[in-house]
Chains A and B, each alone.
Chain A
Amino acid sequence: MTQATAESTTRFADAHAAVLARADAAGTGALNDTRRAAFDAFTAQSIPTLKHEDWRYTDLRELNKTDYAPAEPNTDVTADDIAPFLIPNLDTHLIVFVDGHWREDLSAIDEHPEGTAIGTLAQAYAKGCTGITDYLGKQVDLETDAMSALNTALMEDGAAIYLKPGKTIDKPIHVLSVATAKAAGTMTHPRNLIVAGEDASVTVLEHYVTLGGENYFNNAVTELFAADRAEVHHYLLEREAESAVNISTLEIHQGEKSDVHSHTVLLGGKLVRNNVRPTMAGEDGHCLINGLFVGHGDQTLDNAMRVEHNAPNCRSRQFYKGIMSDKSHGVFTGRIVVAEEGQQTDAIQSNRNMLLSDDARMNARPQLEIYADDVRCTHGATTGQVDPEAVFYFRARGLPEDVARAMLIYAFAAEGFDRMQLVPVRALLANEMIAKLPMANKLSAEFNEEIKQRLYRI
Chain B
Amino acid sequence: MTTTEEVAKITQDKRDYKYGFVTDIEQEFAPPGLNEDIVRFISAKKGEPEWLLEWRLKAFRHWQTMEEPDWQFLPYSYERPNYQGISYYAAPKEKPKSLDEIDPAILETYNKLGIPLEEQKVLAGVEGAATSAADALGGGGGKVAVDAVFDSVSVATTFQDELEKHGIIFCSISEAVKNHGDLVKRYLGSVVPYSDNFYATLNSAVFSDGSFVYIPKGVKCPMELSTYFRINASNTGQFERTLIIADEGSTVSYLEGCTAPMRDENQLHAAVVELVAHKDATIKYSTIQNWYPGDETGKGGIFNFVTKRGICEGDRSHISWTQVETGSAVTWKYPSCILKGDDSKAEFYSVALTNLRQQADTGTKMIHIGKNTTSHIISKGISAGEGHNTYRGLVQMNKGAANAKNFTQCDSILIGDRCGAHTFPYIDVRNPTASAEHEASTTKIAEDQLFYCTARGIEEEDAVSLLVNGFCKEVFNELPMEFAVEANKLLAVSLEGSVG
Cα distance, A378 to B434, chains bound together (Å): 23
Output the least CB separation between A33 and chain B (Å): 34
Cα distance, A360 to B431, chains bound together (Å): 7
Cβ-based interface call for A376 (8 A): yes
Which of A340, A364, A377, A385 contacts B433, CB < 8 Å?
A: A385
Tell whether, in the assembled complex, residue B435 and residue A372 are in contact, meaning their CB atoms are under 8 Å apart.
Answer: no
Which of B421, B427, B432, B438 contacts A385, CB < 8 Å?
A: B432
Taking CB atoms, residues of chain A closer than 8 Å to B424 are 365, 367
Cα distance, A382 to B432, chains bound together (Å): 12
Taking CB atoms, residues of chain B closer than 8 Å to A375 are 414, 442-444
Tell whether, in the assembled complex, residue A365 and residue B425 are in contact, meaning their CB atoms are under 8 Å apart.
Answer: yes
Select the residue from B73, B412, B429, B434 with max chain A CB neighbours within 10 A.
B429
Tell whether, in the assembled complex, residue B427 and residue A373 are in contact, meaning their CB atoms are under 8 Å apart.
Answer: no
* Among A89-97, A107-115, A351-359, the stretch in contact with B: A351-359
Tell whether, in the assembled complex, residue A366 and residue B440 are in contact, meaning their CB atoms are under 8 Å apart.
Answer: yes
Cβ-based interface call for B220 (8 A): no
Taking CB atoms, residues of chain A closer than 8 Å to B431 are 355, 358
Tell whether, in the assembled complex, residue B426 and residue A381 are in contact, meaning their CB atoms are under 8 Å apart.
Answer: no
Tell whether, in the assembled complex, residue A361 and residue B430 are in contact, meaning their CB atoms are under 8 Å apart.
Answer: yes
Cβ-based interface call for A384 (8 A): yes
Chain B 405-431 per-residue mask, 1 if CB under 8 angstroms from chain A, else 0 = 000000010111111111111111111
Tell whether, in the assembled complex, residue B432 and residue A371 are in contact, meaning their CB atoms are under 8 Å apart.
Answer: no
Which DSSP category, helix, strand, loop or mixed, fits chain A's interface? Answer: strand
Which of B436, B442, B444 contacts A381, CB < 8 Å?
A: B436
Cα distance, A385 to B403, chains bound together (Å): 10
Taking CB atoms, residues of chain B closer than 8 Å to A378 are 439-442
Cα distance, A223 to B477, chains bound together (Å): 50
- The size of the chain B interface, using a CB distance under 8 A, is 36
Cβ-based interface call for B399 (8 A): yes
Nearest chain-A residue to B429 (Cβ)? A383
Known: A364-B427, A375-B442, A377-B441. A355 touches B420 (CB 8 A): no
- Please report which residues of chain B, range 55-71, place their CB below 8 angstroms from some CB of chain A when the two chains form the complex: 71
Output the least CB separation between A172 and chain B (Å): 36
Tell whether, in the assembled complex, residue B71 and residue A53 are in contact, meaning their CB atoms are under 8 Å apart.
Answer: yes
Cβ-based interface call for A363 (8 A): yes
Bin chain A's interface residue count.
Answer: 20 to 34
Cβ-based interface call for B36 (8 A): no
Chain A 229-251 per-residue mask, 1 if CB under 8 angstroms from chain B, else 0 = 00000000000000000000000
Cα distance, A356 to B433, chains bound together (Å): 9
Tell whether, in the assembled complex, residue B420 and residue A370 are in contact, meaning their CB atoms are under 8 Å apart.
Answer: yes
Tell whether, in the assembled complex, residue A368 and residue B423 are in contact, meaning their CB atoms are under 8 Å apart.
Answer: yes
Output the least CB separation between B446 and chain A (Å): 11
Cβ-based interface call for A379 (8 A): yes
Cα distance, A385 to B437, chains bound together (Å): 12
Known: A340-B417, A374-B444. A366 touches B435 (CB 8 A): no
Which of B73, B418, B425, B432 contacts A366, CB < 8 Å?
A: B425
Tell whether, in the assembled complex, residue B443 and residue A369 are in contact, meaning their CB atoms are under 8 Å apart.
Answer: no
Cα distance, A372 to B420, chains bound together (Å): 7
Tell whether, in the assembled complex, residue A368 and residue B442 are in contact, meaning their CB atoms are under 8 Å apart.
Answer: yes
Cα distance, A369 to B415, chains bound together (Å): 15
Taking CB atoms, residues of chain B closer than 8 Å to A358 are 399, 431-432
Nearest chain-B residue to A344 (Cβ)? B444
Cα distance, A382 to B418, chains bound together (Å): 32
Tell whether, in the assembled complex, residue B420 and residue A361 are in contact, meaning their CB atoms are under 8 Å apart.
Answer: no
Nearest chain-A residue to B388 (Cβ)? A371
Cα distance, A52 to B237, chains bound together (Å): 31
Cβ-based interface call for A153 (8 A): no
Tell whether, in the assembled complex, residue A373 and residue B419 are in contact, meaning their CB atoms are under 8 Å apart.
Answer: yes
Cβ-based interface call for A272 (8 A): no
- Please report which residues of chain A, range 7-54, place their CB below 8 angstroms from some CB of chain B when the two chains form the complex: 53
Tell whether, in the assembled complex, residue B443 and residue A376 are in contact, meaning their CB atoms are under 8 Å apart.
Answer: yes
Chain A 313-328 per-residue mask, 1 if CB under 8 angstroms from chain B, else 0 = 0000000000000000
Output the least CB separation between A366 and chain B (Å): 6
Taking CB atoms, residues of chain A closer than 8 Å to B425 are 364-367, 381
Taking CB atoms, residues of chain A closer than 8 Å to B399 are 358
Cβ-based interface call for A88 (8 A): no
Known: A361-B429, A384-B435. A379 touches B422 (CB 8 A): no
Cβ-based interface call for A362 (8 A): yes
Which of B415, B437, B443, B444 contacts A382, CB < 8 Å?
A: B437
Which of A343, A380, A385 contacts B440, CB < 8 Å?
A: A380
Known: A380-B439, A380-B440, A383-B436. A368 touches B421 (CB 8 A): yes
Tell whether, in the assembled complex, residue A356 and residue B432 are in contact, meaning their CB atoms are under 8 Å apart.
Answer: yes
Tell whether, in the assembled complex, residue A373 and residue B436 are in contact, meaning their CB atoms are under 8 Å apart.
Answer: no
Output the least CB separation between A379 and chain B (Å): 5
Known: A371-B420, A382-B435. A365 touches B426 (CB 8 A): yes
Known: A53-B71, A363-B426, A383-B427. A373 touches B438 (CB 8 A): no
Select the residue from A375, A378, A382 with max chain B CB neighbours within 10 A.
A382
Taking CB atoms, residues of chain A closer than 8 Å to B421 are 368, 370
Output the least CB separation between A246 and chain B (Å): 23
Output the least CB separation between B6 and chain A (Å): 27
Taking CB atoms, residues of chain B closer than 8 Å to A355 are 429, 431-432
- Please report which residues of chain B, range 431-484, place their CB below 8 angstroms from some CB of chain A when the two chains form the complex: 431-444
Cα distance, A2 to B412, chains bound together (Å): 41
Taking CB atoms, residues of chain B closer than 8 Å to A381 are 425, 427, 436-438
Cα distance, A371 to B383, chains bound together (Å): 10
- Please report which residues of chain A, range 100-119, place their CB below 8 angstroms from some CB of chain B when the two chains form the complex: none
Taking CB atoms, residues of chain A closer than 8 Å to B422 are 367-370
Taking CB atoms, residues of chain A closer than 8 Å to B430 are 360-361
Taking CB atoms, residues of chain A closer than 8 Å to B415 are 373
Cα distance, A382 to B405, chains bound together (Å): 11
- Please report which residues of chain B, range 91-126, place their CB below 8 angstroms from some CB of chain A when the two chains form the complex: none
Taking CB atoms, residues of chain B closer than 8 Å to A365 are 424-427
Tell whether, in the assembled complex, residue A380 and residue B443 are in contact, meaning their CB atoms are under 8 Å apart.
Answer: no
Output the least CB separation between B185 and chain A (Å): 35
Taking CB atoms, residues of chain A closer than 8 Å to B438 are 364, 366, 379-382
Tell whether, in the assembled complex, residue B423 and residue A367 are in contact, meaning their CB atoms are under 8 Å apart.
Answer: yes
Output the least CB separation between A339 and chain B (Å): 10
Taking CB atoms, residues of chain A closer than 8 Å to B434 are 383-384
Tell whether, in the assembled complex, residue A383 and residue B417 are in contact, meaning their CB atoms are under 8 Å apart.
Answer: no
Taking CB atoms, residues of chain B closer than 8 Å to A374 are 417, 444
Nearest chain-B residue to A356 (Cβ)? B432
Taking CB atoms, residues of chain A closer than 8 Å to B435 are 382-385
Output the least CB separation between A384 and chain B (Å): 4
Output the least CB separation between B44 and chain A (Å): 40
Taking CB atoms, residues of chain A closer than 8 Å to B439 are 378-380
Known: A365-B424, A380-B438, A382-B437. A370 touches B429 (CB 8 A): no
Cα distance, A304 to B382, chains bound together (Å): 27
User: Across chains A and B, which 7 residue pairs bring their CB atoms closest together, nearest first?
Assistant: A384-B435, A373-B414, A355-B432, A364-B427, A368-B423, A383-B429, A378-B441
In the complex, besides A365-B424, A367-B425, 5 extra interface pairs with C-beta distance below 8 angstroms are A340-B417, A370-B412, A370-B442, A379-B439, A381-B436
**10 A–B contact pairs at CB < 8 A?**
A360-B430, A364-B436, A365-B425, A369-B422, A373-B444, A374-B444, A378-B440, A379-B423, A382-B435, A382-B436
